[in-house]
Structure 1
Amino acid sequence: MSIKLRELIRSIRACKTAAEERAVIARECALIRTAFKEDDNQFRHRNVAKLLFIHMMGYPTHFGQMECLKLIASTKFPEKRVGYLGLTQLLDENTEVLMLVTNSIKNDMSHESQYVNGLALCALGNIGSNEMCRALAREVERMMNSTNPYIRKKAALCAMRIIRKVDEIEDKFNGRIGSLLEDRNHGVLLSGCCLLTALLELNKDYIPEFRRHIPSLVNALRLVTKSGYNSAAEYDIAGICDPFLQAKILRLLRILGERNVDASDEMNDILAQVATNTEGTKNTGNAILYECVLTIMSIEAESGLRVLGINILGRFLLSRDNNIRYVALATLQRVVNVDVQIMQRHRNTIIECLKDADISIRKRALDVTYSLVDDSNIKSMTKELLNYLLVADTDFKEELCSRICMAVEKYSPNRRWQIDTLIKVMCLGGNFVKEQQREKFCKVVASTPELHSYTVIKLYFNMKESLTQEALVHVGVWCLGEFGDHLVSGRAVGPDNQPIHVSPSDVLDLLQDVIKKPPNLDKAPSTNALVAAALVKLVTRCPTEFERIKKLLRKFECSLHVDLQQRACEFLELLSSDWDSTRAGILDRMPVSEKEIGGAESRDVGDSSIDEVPPSGVRPGGAPAVGGSKGGDLLDLNDLLDAGPVAAPARPAASSPSGGGGGGGGDLLDLLDGGGAAPSPVPQVSGGGGADLGLLDLFGGGDSPAAAPTGQVVEAAPIVAFEKAGLKIVFHPRKEADGSSTVVARFCNSLTVPMTNFVFEAAVPKFVSLTMQPATGQVLPPQNDLVSQTMVCSNNSNGEKGLLMKLRIGYVMNGTPVQEMAQVGNFPPGY
């Protein structure tokens, strides 16, 4: 005969090794199997009880499943209880032998003892399969009408299982739910709330039907809160009457009142009472307040009630219990979109949670803080987060940097502030800024030509102070390579209006320091690869340092890193004399991706404290407007062209003005006043040019038609707009079918050296609208005309006035800025 359950537990606990434990259990399982084979009815319930304990230990007990079914069929309650317990623990709904017990459960539902009824209902509610639930649903419905509250409660809980398992009878118990919600017994009412909640979660279409029970639920909740409901002392927990029932009613009201103003009005008063009268000094009261706040934030509650709910969460944040604070932060994260302005009152408390010793609290606080950031508080919130970045734990800095970068990208008021803030982040936590954020920073800089000079100078001086932050060094090296000409041009002035002087040798010294002291030794090859790319780009930006650049690149030729070695060899080959004619075009600035740049692309650029003054002495202003009427207001001049608009293309990063080109719309203020440049000679315009002139050509019309035929595209002969010092600009005008004119400017460099940083700008009268597309390149290679730029003009004078255009051309040749002006007025009639 096997030992008793207590003796088995004692012997298992006495085992000192896992092997001893397995031996004891194996020996006991063998004895239990023997007893089952001998059909020992006297100790069958004891053996099944021991199997339950062995099952809890994780050992196989499948051989005892049939014994559970035998115990259920017993007439003795102790054996039946152990049988049902074994049934719910050793079997599940997928067990094949479960169907054998369906009839026994049905018989027990009709038993005269309420406790046997309860066992049957409990078993069905726990492991009932689809077939069992469908077969016994009618019995459960009958028992929901029982006069015994114990049975009604069990039947309601069992009905939850049935509606979840059998879709076609989910509405079978709808007619019984109303009586459950009006029951005076706490257990029945709690079970009824559970059943209705499960039903509404499965099918939202039933919500309007059950909103009629809101008064009953509100009345029950009011009675419970007043502690005068059916022997309230029996359900008292820490001074709160039946907190489980209160929480369940609040959850049910949350579902019924969602997106319905009338239903929400019915429960506003009781929610206010619960929120104000519930004591929050213990966890029991805090649980009720938590459910109450969630209900307030889920329904169409009054604004005052929402304020009360947020204030409750604010009190939770002041608690010393980390669990309560965590729950408060998690709730604030869920309801932050309901009323952000109310939550702003607790902003300081939330930010203080960032300094909590518990990392889970800090992470939740960071989530809520990020959700509170908007256009109105981006600057103050970012300042707080940057201050915390100084003292944050190392494990927390990566996520913190990522959140700051995302907030800045989304809400920055202007590009200058965005760039300044991202540079601060990289100065404070550059080793934790992700690659993705670094790439986005470079895209933002590249797409803002007005701030190229400002950004590269700021990065240069920050790198001079420290080379320990990886992200700062990486983006700084990239910017030095792309926009190093701005840094060494000598035209930049600081906030004190004093010129900023940085020589090309200083830039090379800094890059050499980066090679010697990389911020991260493990990632030194990737850093050196960026340095190598920057060095080869500086060949055209700092031509005086050509030999030194070659010397630095040769150091990478023998690198153990294959990629870096290959780059160095290719770059050195590019510096050979064979590539002199095409090198400048290859090393031109990287073009900006056409994909939308995150951040403040639709906002102002912002004022920069570091500016770049063009050779003319006119400080750049804002970007010029494109179009007739808008541009005319900007350049209200009474000159030959009657104060026409100025157009400059919205250039990508590759077309950033530098050298002699200037950089903003303000530079063009002197364009229409400059009288130093004589109009360029223009050849006579021949009419045909190979274009189809329709009837005019059929009848021998003149070579220069007064207007292009409607609906036809007419190309005119090329016009030499400018020719001087090896640079020739030829216009190829074309009259479009819609009446507008397209002028393709083709730039030809007849010299043997490249013209870099090429900028072409144009001004037209007020009656002309001009749109300029970006040029195909910023470097004019020697002895070719590969670079072109397209302009679209619309003459609004109805043929009364011809097209006039003033030009300004800027470029750098052999390190010397060149700026020229010209005027073109001999376009064909009708343009």
Structure 2
Amino acid sequence: MLPVKGDGMRGLAVFISDIRSCKSKEAEIRRINKELANIRSKFKGDKTFDGYQRKKYICKLLFIFLLGHDIDFGHMEAVNLLSSNKYTEKQIGYLFISVLISGSNSLINLIIQSLKSDLSSSNVTYKMLALQCIANIGCRDMCDTFAGDVIKFLVSGDSMESIKQCASLCLLSLIRNNPGCISMSNWAFRLIHLLNDKDLGVVTSAISLIQVLATKNPKEYRACVPIVISRLNRIVMTQMNDLQDYTYYFIPAPWLSVKLLKLLQIFNFRESPVEKNRLVEVLDHILQKNHESLKSKKVQHVFAKNAVLLEAINLIVHVDGDQLLLVRSCNILGNFLIHREINLRFLALEGLCLLATTEYSHNVVKRHQELVLSALKTEKDIAVRQRAADLLYAMCDRNNVAVIVYEMLAYLENADHSLREEMVLKIAILSEKYAVDYTWYVDTILHLIKVSGDYVSDEVWYRVVKVIINRDDVQGYAAKTVFECLQAPSCHENMVRVGGYILGEFGNLIAGDSRSSPLVQYNLLMSKYALCTLPTKQLLLSTFVKFANLFPEIKSNILQFFKSQKQCRNSNIEIQQRSVEYSKLIMDAPVDVLAVILEEMPPYVENQPSLMNKLRQKVTTTKTTSSMTSSSTTTTTTTSKYGNLYEDDLIQIGVRSEFRKNLGRLHLYYGNKSLHQFTGFRTTAQVQKQQLLNIECADDFTEPPILVVHFKYCDTSRTLFIGLPILLNKFIEGSIMDANTFFVRWNNLSRPSQEVQKIILAKYSMNDDVIKQKLSLFGLTVLDGIDPNPVNIVSAGILNTASLLIGVLVRLELNHMAQMYRLTVRAYKDGVAGTMCSLLEQQL
């Protein structure tokens, strides 16, 4: 056997090889447990450990941790490595501490002492290791202890460039982890001066720090603007030989250029014409370079060049003063719309969305309307189609609204289910905002309800009713049109709501035609009544009582309906009360009094458009939850109400869900993506088939129900087994309580069977706001200011089942440095805590 040379750590290599050779998860766990037992015995029993052995076993623990297993020992051994004079041993010690030790660990004081020793050392490498460790842990104790030293390292003229880079990034980490802990108001001038440093590595590190500080306080860092413009000008105008060490595939310092361009977007240039003119010259030169022939065919060269170009265009939009630059930017991005690289097409659409909002470039953006429409229809990536829809919305005005709305409506019939609600809102907003002829507006919204009624929120049909009530010139046309729409054999419930409301107010305007006589209108709405949900039935009852006032000839029919046993003794208290009160009103109220009570609705007072608020909320929620949605071809777990449940080359199954207390409703949409008919469904599915499932949570459950889909395609049978997105948390409603109530209930749930706790390695970004949003979407109410530790997050909810209301309490402890959570769930009923814990773990 050959001897191991240097720091090869043959034992570690053998252990890694053994793990890779394991044929199953169980075999891997057995091998790991065996190794952990060996390491534990070595740490406890062998007092002759040298630094090499300690380093080897610490490396093994790190590897086991990175495989996803918990490590609850070895921390002290890692701390002991910090005192070693060998770089590799000290490095492994710092690595273990940075990954597995948080600021609240009991060993933090010992670590701080070692850090002090290394920071005061003359060894530059040790100082860098210490600064990196401080940045990785970044706890409050380290911030209080080392912030002053880190700042001195950063601004000192004696510090080496490598130390300045580490100090800059270390200070940035401390500021992010401990907002308000460090006062930087007296250091602005010294930090800005770093941008003049000869070493571009120092400049690149410093600019990341300055950007964060300038975002919070632009006035203090306004003095950096001329320095940044000068530095950017030197990079753009320089020959590559001048920046040879920082040239990336023939592009001089591209990443620094991007950072400089981003920093300038923080400041306002309206009151600084001199700086603005200098900046315009630099931006003009960047745009000119776009027309130069490529110096390399490597994709890295293209990506770096375009990264600088696109960030420059963002800055041009921010400055918003040079018409020529804006127009040239539009033309450049327009050419990117037909680029073969999909990421570039996406970024082009995103950039054009910004340019469409500026006065000078809006009309130029409209020249690319056909390409954008083509992207909406043909792009395979849903994110690109989403940006195309955003751009159409941004470029729309009175001149092109008819074309854009028509194309969006045509696309909507086959659009991805996750896009439909937002597109419906945009179509509704554009139709009203740019409508010249309000009969066109009425036609558009009714067609919108017809083709995508499931995605028409209450705000949309509320708004069309308000517009019609406020405009006398379209009331008769609206009544006639909605009456015709209601005659369709299958009519969406939202159409019934709009029709019921409009006919109740203005049905008299079309009652002179025998084809839409009072009795015909009444019978038409009655034919829809039985199939409607309770809110729609309640609305139709109000419509009928208004009919009794408008049309005396059918009053007896309406009164008979109100007095029927099915209405007066209805199990729903609202239906029963309306029926009784309306019948009493019709029978006893004098005609003139009835006319006053049931007169037409007065015009609505215009206020802030609710549709715009709904759209902003929808866009924000989509961005927040985009990282939380996971799907596969066999089963789907999703936190959003709309989306694709399953999709392959033949079929697309979309889903829309609604849940309230222990009840739920699932709308399933089956779309045929092939050129042949499917047979074997209850009816032949040639284009799209819909299915409605009503759900009741009778008791807690662990596995989602399975949907079995069977059909024939070209005489070949296909059967799909798909997990439905019906999980236990869908039946949770948030619960609000104060600290005293929370902890009383928490302590009452003390049986082992009522609590489950897990240590979880974070799969997604540990942003506090995003985590709270996830808990809210999960169904829980986040309770701020409850936990004594402000870093922790607690939440509460009630699980609704048919037989029992089950309290659920959640405590989430965050360790940002280790990127880990401790999740504790307590629930009143045995077994529920485990289910909830597993579901929450998937979101973290």
Aligned: 1:181 with 2:195:
yes
Q: 1:90 aligns with which of 94, 100, 117?
A: 100
For residues 205-249 of structure 1, what are the alpha-carbon distances to aligned partners after superposition, in whole Å with 9 as ceiling and x for unaligned? 22232234135412442256x4222425x7424x43442222222
Change (3 A) 1:301 1:532: closer
Could you tell me whether the CA contact under 8 Å between 1:378 and 1:411 is conserved in 2?
yes
Residue aligning to 1:29? 36
Residue aligning to 2:366? 344
Could you tell me whether the CA contact under 8 Å between 1:412 and 1:599 is conserved in 2?
no
Residue aligning to 2:482? 459
- 1:293 is displaced (CA, Å) by 1.7
1:418-497 alignment runs, 5 A limit: 418-465=441-488, 467-489=490-512
Q: 1:199 aligns with which of 213, 222, 234?
A: 213
1:615-694 alignment runs, 5 A limit: none
Task: Give the distance between the partners of 2:114 and 2:62, measured in 1 at CA.
Answer: 21
| Number of equivalences | 581
Residue aligning to 1:329? 349
Return the TM-score normalized by structure 1.
0.62
Q: 2:85 aligns with which of 66, 75, 80?
A: 75
1:42-57 alignment runs, 5 A limit: 42-57=52-67
Aligned: 1:387 with 2:410:
yes
For residues 37-92 of structure 1, what are the alpha-carbon distances to aligned partners after superposition, in whole Å with 9 as ceiling and x for unaligned? 33422401111111212222333334222222211111111111111212221223
What amino acid does structure 1 have at the position aligned with 2:34? R
What amino acid does structure 1 have at the position aligned with 2:266? I
Q: Please, what is the CA RMSD of the aligned residues?
A: 3.6
Could you tell me whether the CA contact under 8 Å between 2:504 and 2:546 is conserved in 1?
yes
Unaligned runs of 5+ in 1: 491-499, 601-831
What amino acid does structure 1 have at the position aligned with 2:69? Y
Secondary structure of 1:61's counterpart equals: coil
Residue aligning to 1:60? 70
Q: Pick which of 48-57 and 120-129 moved more.
A: 120-129
Could you tell me whether the CA contact under 8 Å between 1:162 and 1:170 is conserved in 2?
no
What amino acid does structure 2 have at the position aligned with 1:31? N
Task: Give the distance between the partners of 2:86 and 2:101, measured in 1 at CA.
Answer: 22
- 1:429 is displaced (CA, Å) by 3.1
Residue aligning to 2:263? 252
What amino acid does structure 1 have at the position aligned with 2:599? R
- 1:297 is displaced (CA, Å) by 1.9
For residues 105-152 of structure 1, what are the alpha-carbon distances to aligned partners after superposition, in whole Å with 9 as ceiling and x for unaligned? 343345444333322232233324445445443466347534743334
Residue aligning to 1:229? 242
Change (3 A) 1:111 1:597: closer
Task: Give the distance between the partners of 1:162 and 1:432, measured in 2 at CA.
Answer: 45
Change (3 A) 1:555 1:597: farther
Secondary structure of 2:221's counterpart equals: helix
Task: Give the distance between the partners of 2:544 and 2:415, measured in 1 at CA.
Answer: 36
1:809-824 alignment runs, 5 A limit: none
Residue aligning to 2:719? none
Task: Give the distance between the partners of 1:552 and 1:264, measured in 2 at CA.
Answer: 74
Task: Give the distance between the partners of 1:44 and 1:352, measured in 2 at CA.
Answer: 63
Could you tell me whether the CA contact under 8 Å between 1:258 and 1:298 is conserved in 2?
no
Change (3 A) 1:394 1:74: closer
Return the TM-score normalized by structure 2.
0.61
Task: Give the distance between the partners of 1:182 and 1:68, measured in 2 at CA.
Answer: 40
Instruction: Work out the percentage of aligned pairs sharing the same amino acid.
Output: 27
Q: Pick which of 81-90 and 529-538 moved more.
A: 529-538
Residue aligning to 2:112? 102
Could you tell me whether the CA contact under 8 Å between 2:243 and 2:252 is conserved in 1?
no
Task: Give the distance between the partners of 1:301 and 1:23, measured in 2 at CA.
Answer: 67
Change (3 A) 1:364 1:77: same
Aligned: 1:268 with 2:280:
yes
Secondary structure of 1:592's counterpart equals: coil
Change (3 A) 1:163 1:478: closer
Could you tell me whether the CA contact under 8 Å between 2:55 and 2:89 is conserved in 1?
yes
What amino acid does structure 2 have at the position aligned with 1:9? I
Residue aligning to 1:302? 322
Task: Give the distance between the partners of 2:603 and 2:76, measured in 1 at CA.
Answer: 70
Residue aligning to 1:537? 546
Residue aligning to 1:283? 303
Task: Give the distance between the partners of 2:94 and 2:416, measured in 1 at CA.
Answer: 53
Task: Give the distance between the partners of 1:511 and 1:142, measured in 2 at CA.
Answer: 79
What amino acid does structure 2 have at the position aligned with 1:254? Q
Task: Give the distance between the partners of 2:605 and 2:217, measured in 1 at CA.
Answer: 43
Could you tell me whether the CA contact under 8 Å between 1:444 and 1:597 is conserved in 2?
no
Could you tell me whether the CA contact under 8 Å between 1:105 and 1:120 is conserved in 2?
yes
- 1:307 is displaced (CA, Å) by 2.3
For residues 337-370 of structure 1, what are the alpha-carbon distances to aligned partners after superposition, in whole Å with 9 as ceiling and x for unaligned? 3344443333333333332333333333333333
- 1:271 is displaced (CA, Å) by 1.9
Residue aligning to 1:609? none
Change (3 A) 1:557 1:131: closer
Aligned: 1:557 with 2:566:
yes
Task: Give the distance between the partners of 1:318 and 1:361, measured in 2 at CA.
Answer: 13
- 1:300 is displaced (CA, Å) by 5.1
Secondary structure of 1:120's counterpart equals: helix
What amino acid does structure 1 have at the position aligned with 2:126? V
What amino acid does structure 1 have at the position aligned with 2:409? L
What amino acid does structure 1 have at the position aligned with 2:504? G
Residue aligning to 2:254? 243
Task: Give the distance between the partners of 2:211 and 2:597, measured in 1 at CA.
Answer: 67
